[in-house]
Chain A
Amino acid sequence: MAVDITLLFKASVKTVKTRNKAIGIGFDSTKDEIFKRSRPKSGFSPRAKEVITNITKLKDFLLQHRKDYVSAGSLISSDLSRMTDNDRDQIDQDAQIFMRTCSEAIKQLRNEAEKQVISAQIKEHRGAVLDLIETYLKGVCKLYSEQRAIRVKRMFEQENQRLISEMNSLVDEVRQIEGKVVEISRLQEIFAEKVLQQEAEIDNIHQLVVGATENVKEGNEDIREAIKNNAGFRVWILFFLVMCSFSLLFLDWYDS
């Protein structure tokens, strides 16, 4: 395993210092330190670090609100921790704007780095640094998109649930209607049966009626005949009587 000899090194430094003092070599330490402190403030590295801190802020923010964002929201949990959909949309929007600004910043840094006249090694280093920052940003974006996917998934799930319950109620209604229709069809069957029965009887009756009508017609005819006959007979009787009467009368006259 690795052995930390930093303390040994520091001890060596002390040894060398005392040795140099003894020999009489001194080093002017103060001047260089001040010189070192005046580093360019708006150099590449501080700006890159700034982008990173921003991305970290975003990450912390997302992680902080993750639980609330993702929570299903039961009836028992207090309203304080529940997030409305508006809140969630707000978070989504803010996160997206933030991510866009960060990636713009990275692009800008890249362009600037391209334009600057610096050695190949520093260029490569800066390119690699920007790649690292981009990967970090992608990681954080992934956090966000996972979160969002869960939310959208939940949304779909809710809608699914709703659709399912709707479909279920529809199914119930349809079943009911089906029952009724079956009932109706059964009744109609009976109805049709009865009607058929009645048809037979009606036919019968019809036949009888027709027969009766015929009989009545014939009876009428017979009665007319009979009346006619009767009338004719009557006429003959009447004639006979009249004749008899006349004959009587005649006889009477004759005799007289």
Chain B
Amino acid sequence: MACHIPRLVSLLKKKHFLCCISAVALKRMLNFNAPPLKNTAAEPVWKVLIYDRFGQDIISPLLSVKELRDMGITLHLLLHSDRDPIPDVPAIYFVMPTEENIDRICQDLRNQLYESYYLNFISAISRSKLEDIASAALAANAVTQVTKVFDQYLNFITLEDDMFILCHQNKELISYHAINRADIQDTDMEAIMDTIVDSLFCFFVTLGAVPIIRCPRGNAAEMVAVKLDKKLRENLRDARNSLFTGDSMTAGQFSFQRPLFVLVDRNVDMATPLHHTWTYQALIHDVLDFHLNRVVMEEGMGAEPSAGARPKKKSRKTYDLTAADKFWQKHKGSPFPEVAESVQEELDTYRAQEDEVKRLKSIMGLEGEDEGAISMLSDNTAKLTSAVSSLPELLEKKRLIDLHTNVATAVLDHIKSRKLDVYFEFEEKLMSKSTLDKSLLDIISDPDAGTPEDKMRLFLIYYITAQQAPSESDLEQYKKALLDAVCDLSPLNYIKQWKAFTKMAATPANYGNSGVKPMGLFSRVMNTGSQFVMEGVKNLVLKQHNLPVTRILDNLMEMKSHPETDDYRYFDPKMLRGSESSIPRNKNPFQEAIVFVVGGGNYIEYQNLVDYTKSKQGKKIVYGCSELFNASQFIKQLSQLGQK
């Protein structure tokens, strides 16, 4: 185990952080839990990978099918599918230790499906379930075949270098709705908290650090913090089985300082999940079908076809947006017009390179005919070899450009048809309390602008960010306009309750002074040949501002005093006495932090944190949430809550 420590430390120094740690852990597991050899052209060892849906969600953002193949995985199958016996192959299992999974594993053992079994459980398996497997193995006389059993502590999904979510399957069990519904029982809440804490515990085990926990008082986040603190404390006290001891992980791994773990509840900021957005990744999540770094689109899809048109046959295309896609990594946080421009630039560079290769090809074809060509040959041989070797790169580049062209075109269609730029601008103004140049009623009553959901979102943001509640008559007016626009008003009921509740609590969330400067009403029309003609779409420039979550993090990380965060609780699992004090012992600003939103998060918050990190040198911030939803999913949850 100790041999991989220097490598991990050097990995941490790189920019890529969480992805690397999780991917390294997965790769070790897939190499039969031995450190992978760096030997080029090592003998291939083949194996079969069996996972359940949880395992699949964990693996798919980190390793592509090709990478699995390169590691020797010949088949990857779902646990609960029909699997044929392949008697001369070792099988690696990566599953959650649930009842049905254990039953299925026992069944596999009885049916003698594979030669040897390497069982890896995503979170820790209980002793009794282990005994179930043991007895099944004994019955099938397969005890020697069960070669290794591991607890992987990987019960979370890493989406980006600095972002993770808890789960994708069964996320309604720990959704915002599940936590905040009125008819929730104590036992239900306990179960939800246990699930969340288990995943967070796995996260910290994988990270190899014991954090300092800060959380607000009086909500779900506090419950999670208390439970997590208790769990970490118990584990640290248990000297024999502690997962945080010095030789299994490097104590000084985190630059001699422990990370800060900030737990917040979704209720601290309800406007951001409803907000319309303008950055690329967040737009894709809002407007298209985007899960686990995968976009599913129908070709020829865009705005809804008009009512009378016959829907033409649409084919579904799936695109993976991965860490290897340099364009994506560079532009996922950029404002959309910039993205459109960059795609055009990339296309032009690609065409230039393609022409270069073609020219070289034609020159080589003139061998012996042209005096000039012959003298150029020697110079071009080197160019040609480099062109040939860069051909797969070029093809890959083309594929990515096509991918982004399609995706961006689909997004642009949505923007144009729903006038999302108008909504974005208006909401930014609402959230920063600047003066509005249009009335809310106008936008709601405008039949061309946006779907009913968009209008509802806008109105909810208005309601949430208003200093004083609108008067009854105004409210009736708005309600009528919304009903005319075919909106569902049940989310409003819930938001009213929420607003009343938060008014009793601390000061309402302040969205900071943002500013949105439109760069002229009609953005410059792109030159001919461009596919992204954005006339009529405002070219809005985002000014940097901090969302509530970012502000909270800033206060806590930099040890600033602020009424909002001053009475946050403080937990340090490493301290001997369970101290309940709110006085932080540490006076220095933190260098690493993890922000976790209980109740759900979205890409807008993530992007805001990323921008904040960029402005601070040398700080690492990881964003996590219990589930990832876009605005329409969140509105559905709010409707359900409002209908009760």
B588 contacts partner chain A, Cβ-Cβ < 8 Å: no
Q: How far is the CB of B27 from chain A (nearest CB, A)?
A: 12
Query: Are A125's CB and B74's CB within 8 A?
Result: yes
Q: A45-B89, A122-B86, A133-B44 are in contact. Are A13 and B72 (CB under 8 A)?
A: no
A154 to B522, CA, bound (A): 64
Q: Which of A45, A56, A126, A143 contacts B43 (CB 8 A)?
A: A56
The reply to whether A16 and B43 form a contact with Cβ atoms under 8 Å apart is no
Give the residues from 35 to 91 in chain B that come closer than 8 angstroms, CB to CB, to chain A: 40-41, 43-44, 46, 48, 69-70, 72-75, 77, 83-84, 86-89
Bitwise interface map of A from 25 to 67 toward B, beta carbon under 8 Å scored 1, else 0: 0010100110000010001110000001000100100000000
B-contact bits for A122-146, CB 8 A (1 contact / 0 none): 1011101101110110011011000
Decide yes or no: A43 and B249 within 8 Å by CB, A1-B243, A29-B141 being known contacts. Answer: no
For B115, give the chain A residue with the smallest CB separation: A45
User: Could you say which residues of chain B place their CB within 8 Å of the CB of A9?
Assistant: 130, 133-134, 146, 149
Size of the chain B interface, CB-CB below 8 angstroms: 52
Cα of A56 to Cα of B124 in the assembled complex, Å? 39
**How far, in whole Å, are A120 and B84 apart by their CA atoms in the complex?**
9
Are B44 and A20 interface neighbours, CB within 8 A?
no
A84 vs B165: C-alpha distance in the bound complex, in angstroms?
63
State whether A39 touches B86 (Cβ < 8 A). no
- Report whether A129 and B243 are in contact in the complex, using a CB–CB cutoff of 8 Å: no
CB contact under 8 A between A1 and B88, given known A16-B134, A16-B135: no
Verify if B138 is at the interface (C-beta below 8 Å from A).
yes
Q: How many residues of A contact B (CB 8 A)?
A: 43
Q: Which residue among A17, A121, A126, A135 has the maximum number of chain B CB atoms within 10 Å of its CB? A: A121
B1 to chain A, nearest CB (A): 7
- In the complex, A3→B25 CA distance in Å? 11
Contact yes or no, B74 A1, CB < 8 A: no
| A13 to B70 CA separation, bound complex (whole angstroms) | 35
Contacts known (A13-B134, A56-B43); A1 close to B25, Cβ less than 8 A: yes
- In angstroms, Cα B248 to Cα A232, docked, is 157
- Cβ of B388 within 8 Å of any chain A Cβ, yes or no, is no
A150 to chain B: closest CB distance in Å?
16
Instruction: Provide the B247-267 mask, 1 if CB < 8 A to any CB of A, else 0.
Output: 011000000000000000000
In this assembly, does B436 line the interface, its C-beta being within 8 Å of a C-beta of chain A?
no
Nearest to B131 among chain A residues (CB) is A12
Residues of chain A within 8 A (CB-CB) of B84 are 119-122
Residues in B whose Cβ lies below 8 Å from that of A133: 44
- Chain A nearest CB from B199 CB (Å) reads 16
Q: Is A2 an interface residue (CB 8 A)?
A: yes
A27 touching B46, Cβ below 8 Å = no
> In the assembly, what is the distance between CA of A3 and CA of B242, in Å?
10
Is the CB–CB distance between A4 and B148 below 8 Å? yes
Interface string of B465-508 (1 = CB under 8 A from A): 00000000000000000000000000000000000000000000
Is residue B127 contacting chain A, with contact meaning CB distance below 8 A?
yes
Shortest 9 CB-CB distances between A and B: which pairs? A128-B74, A139-B41, A45-B88, A132-B44, A12-B134, A119-B84, A13-B134, A9-B149, A3-B151
